[in-house]
Amino acid sequence: MTNPSPNDTIRTLTRPPLVVQILAIIGFTGFAIPVSIIAMNQFGALGLLLAAFLAYQWTRLAGMGTEAQIDAAVKLLKPQVDEPRPSSGNASFDAYRSKLMDRLEEEQASFDGFLERLRDAKDKSEFDTFLIEREKSTSAAPA
C-alpha cells in the first residue's frame, strides 16, 4: 500500500465531495432564483444587478474545485524548500543567513529526533504499566 503524496492530500482537502458540491449548487440555486425575482420586482435595476451578481457567484460555485484552483492551492501550500535562497546583495549577510538556516535545520532535525524518543519512552512506559496491571489482575483472580 503506497502512502498518498502531500499533493494528493491537498487535492482531497481542497475539493469537497461530489455530493456536497451538488447540494451546494442546488441550495444556492434555490436561494438565488427567488431572491433575484423578488429583488427585480421590488427594486428594478438594483434587483437586476443583484441577479447578475448571484449569477456570477453561481458560476464560481459550479466551477469549484477546478484543476487550476487545486494547482494554485498546491503551489501555495507546498513548502518552498527546494528553491534556492534569494541573494540580498550583501555577501556577508548571505553567508550569515546561510549558516544560521543550516544550524536551524540541524536543530529542527535534532528536536524531531528528541520528540520521537520522547514518544517512544512514553509508549514504553504506558505499555509497561499495562503489563503490570494485567499481571496484578491475573494473579489476583482465583485459580
Specify the pLDDT at position 14: 60
74 and 138 inside one domain: no
- Among 53, 78, 103, the domain-final residue is 78
- Report the b/e string of 31-43 with b at 16+ CB within 10 A: ebeeebeebbeee
Specify the pLDDT at position 33: 82
Q: Say if pTM beats, i.e. exceeds, 0.85.
A: no
- Residue at 130: amino acid letter: F
Is 62 inside any structural domain? yes
Specify the pLDDT at position 49: 83
Is 54 inside any structural domain? yes
72 and 118 inside one domain: no
> Residue 16 has what DSSP assignment?
-
65 and 121 inside one domain: no
- Among 26, 52, 78, the domain-final residue is 78
14 and 69 inside one domain: yes
CA 138 to chain centre: 46
- Among 56, 78, 100, the domain-final residue is 78
Specify the pLDDT at position 98: 87
Is 83 inside any structural domain? no
Specify the pLDDT at position 1: 47
Specify the pLDDT at position 106: 92
CB 68 within 8 A of CB 98: no
Domain assignment of residue 132, given as a range: 112-143
**Which residues in the chain land under pLDDT 50?**
1
Is 95 inside any structural domain? no
Question: Where are the alpha helices (H) located in the chain, listed in sequence order?
Answer: 6-14, 18-43, 45-62, 67-77, 91-140
